[in-house]
Amino acid sequence: MSAPATPASWRDRLSTALALAVTVYGMANVMPAIGSFRLGPFPMEMFRASFITLCAWVVAISLKDPAQRPARGWLWVAGLVGAAVLSAAAWSYYGVAIAMDDAMILFGPREAAIAVAAAAASLFFCWRIWGAPVALLGALGIGYLVTGPWWPGFLQTAGGDLNELLAQNLWFSLDTGILGGTFAIVITTVFPFIILGALLEGAGAGESMIRIAFSMMRRTAGGPAHAAVLSSALFGSVSGSAVANVVGTGVVTIPMIRKRGFSANFAGGVEAAASSGGQIMPPIMGAAALVMADYVGVSYLTVVVAVLLPVLAYYVSLFAVIVFESRRLGIRPDASTATVPPPTPQDYLNLLLVFGPLALIVVLLVIGLSAAGASMAAIGLLLPLSFINPTVRRRPLLLVKSLANGGATFAGLLMAIAAVGIVISTLAATGVPVKFGVLLSQALDHSMLIALLVVAGGCIVLGMGMPTLPAYVTVAAIALPSMKAFGLEPLTAHMFVFFIAVASAITPPVAIAAYAAAAISGGRPIGTAVEASRIGIMIFVIPFAFAYNPLILTVPAAGAVFAWGPYLWLVAKLLLGITLLGSALVRFDRRALGWPATLGRTAAAVLLFAPGHYSDLAGGVLAALLLGTHHLGRGAGQSVSAATPARDH
């Protein structure tokens, strides 16, 4: 007789089955027509209500405690109650939506109580999955919606019927609130890309990409650090989360970076910076590119093309910092120390599992298919293509498990989107973006740079602890209406906010990607975050560069006329500026740099990134003097001995 199933085992099976149902139901809603046969899209009111109910039960049953064990006791009961509350609220939402087709409904205390209960349940799940900052932001939004009329000065709101405000702006609307416009975009456009990303991970190409990356970088001084950057870029192009990217590649790369002689903080910082950059890596870009294209009103392909040069510049900057750090520590190329097995022909064949579907997406987007249709076609290609991997041939149920993982991932993401929906709706109802715009306009009277710094600071604070997509959507709702006064084109403004929101994953004190990397490297969390911010400094610099010079974004929608001469000069400036800034951050080039040389290189880089011909000339001349003096000067390079363990700094 077999032993009875433990609570964890039956819970795992049930949550997997429900997560698979989320995937099947969501895919049926966005499935394109096949001849005359078509399943979706389903009626909006019915689908939104039933879909969030299904997702709520997936999250509740798979809820974990802080030690990542299945929830027990009060947490388990609270999860079940939260799912039951959301289910009842969804049924009420559906009833009200159907009734509103025939008559106008005035919301009363009952609807307000239902809306608050649904918001509280959503924020509870958001807190358990994504941490307190995201949930707290939603709670503050509700608090401001209720207390706005009593706030002082420009923060005071007009108020109105409280029952109407709560019911309409939190729950009972197709346009605002938890089930509003942002929810609609995510469940139709973003959802299939999340499922595609889960399938790509489950198809078995991740380990192949790591082995190939290590093979390509084995003769560089940085070795595993360079491999971490390359593998994280490849993995991040399909991963929907910076933290998932850190965990997926960092368990292999971080220990090897440390063995090469780098410090624990540096090893974790490299992985965190590279993994966060994966969220700006085309074609998926953490799914935020899909939402950006919809908000801006441009094609998805336009967004992908616009981000190409900035993301390449960012990853070149990571390589540069590693090169200078290797020189500072005296680390030499040593291919013999590699412990990752060399790639096999099967590893290179497995790359088809990644680049085949992604190439199909690009082709279909070029010929005019929607982003959702292109991603569904890519899923249709990947399912049979994955059988080129022997592991999948031996265990085809891995694909089913991947589909379930995608559904579970999306259900968790939807709880964060619920918090974002609350914030966006509160902002719209209280007029905060307009008031924020007044403050920015006053800052703009003094300096556009000051105004951009204010926006960037807000983006980092609001994005702390959030996944890429919710962080971008939240800060965009607050900052973008006011950024129009800067004269920036919508695409440029959105891209600015997007980059800074992604950067919040490595910005102290709430640097979730850096904390995940520190857990693997054994370094200090804050120290790792500081190192990640230093290594990935260009993710903060590049947005300011293309705000002043939109040619960096290449496409006409960014606000600049493309011409090859200025564009090639721009690329040359970027490369030179990256070299100067990277060496200044490490304070080492061929030999150690004193403070005058460090400050001089930083100033030259700033001049090169700044707009205007005179700043270009000044930056170029200063760079030539500094580099010429350094490289023509005498003296052997001073470095930290590779035999001495690197200290965390």
| Residues whose CB falls within 8 Å of the CB of residue 90, separated by 6 or more in sequence, listed in order | 48, 49, 50, 52, 53, 118
Q: What is the pLDDT of residues 435-445, one digit of tens each?
A: 666 666 665 55
Looking at residue 336, what is its pLDDT? 54
**% of the chain at pLDDT higher than 70:** 85
H or E segment and range at residue 22: helix 7-30
What is the 3 state secondary structure string of 71-136? CCHHHHHHHHHHHHHHHHHHHHHHHHHHHHCCCCCCCCHHHHHHHHHHHHHHHHHHHHHHCHHHHH
Torsion of CA 491, 494, 498, 500, to 10 degrees: 110
Looking at residue 122, what is its pLDDT? 92
Looking at residue 644, what is its pLDDT? 44
How far apart are alpha carbons 237 and 280 in whole angstroms? 8
Looking at residue 498, what is its pLDDT? 87
pLDDT band at 22 (very low <50, low <70, confident <90, very high): very high
Pick the range with the lowest mean pLDDT from 14-23, 285-294, 305-314, 527-536: 285-294
pLDDT(363) > 80: yes
Q: What is the pLDDT of residues 102-117, one digit of tens each?
A: 556 677 888 889 999 9
How far apart are alpha carbons 234 and 351 in whole angstroms? 10
Are 191 and 290 in contact by the 8 Å Cβ rule? The answer is no
> What Å distances lie between residue 173 and 44, 425, 479, CA to CA?
11, 10, 24
Chain-centre distance for alpha carbon 492? 18
Number of alpha helices (DSSP H) and beta strands (DSSP E) in the chain: 29, 0
Looking at residue 643, what is its pLDDT? 40
pLDDT(8) > 60: no
Q: Burial letters for 376-415: b for 16+ Cβ neighbours within 10 Å, e otherwise?
A: bbbbebbbebbebbeebeeeeebbeebbbbbbbbbbbbbb
pLDDT band at 645 (very low <50, low <70, confident <90, very high): very low
Domain borders along the chain are 7-182, 564-633
What is the 3 state secondary structure string of 295-325? HHCCCHHHHHHHHHHHHHHHHHHHHHHHHHH
Looking at residue 635, what is its pLDDT? 47
pLDDT band at 636 (very low <50, low <70, confident <90, very high): very low
Average pLDDT for the chain: 81
Looking at residue 51, what is its pLDDT? 92
Q: Is 103 exposed, middle or buried (0-12, 13-18, 19+ CB in 10 A)?
A: exposed
Q: What is the pLDDT of residues 59-108, one digit of tens each?
A: 999 888 776 777 788 888 898 999 999 999 999 988 888 876 555 667 78
**Average pLDDT, stretch 46-63?**
91
pLDDT band at 6 (very low <50, low <70, confident <90, very high): very low
How crowded is residue 133: how many other Cβ atoms within 10 Å of its Cβ? 19
Nearest to 321 by CA among 32, 15, 605: 605
How crowded is residue 610: how many other Cβ atoms within 10 Å of its Cβ? 18
Are 559 and 550 in contact by the 8 Å Cβ rule? The answer is yes
Number of residues that this document lists for the chain? 649
**Average pLDDT, stretch 417-425?**
83
Looking at residue 444, what is its pLDDT? 59
**% of the chain at pLDDT higher than 90:** 14
Looking at residue 315, what is its pLDDT? 92
Between 82 and 2, the more confident residue is 82
**Range from 144-148, 152-156, 402-406 that averages highest in pLDDT:** 402-406
Looking at residue 203, what is its pLDDT? 80
Nearest to 503 by CA among 479, 477, 469, 468: 468
How far apart are alpha carbons 56 and 128 in whole angstroms? 13
Looking at residue 83, what is its pLDDT? 93
**Average pLDDT, stretch 239-243?**
67
Nearest to 150 by CA among 142, 159, 141: 159
**Average pLDDT, stretch 481-504?**
82
Nearest to 371 by CA among 435, 315, 290: 290
How far apart are alpha carbons 469 and 240 in whole angstroms? 9
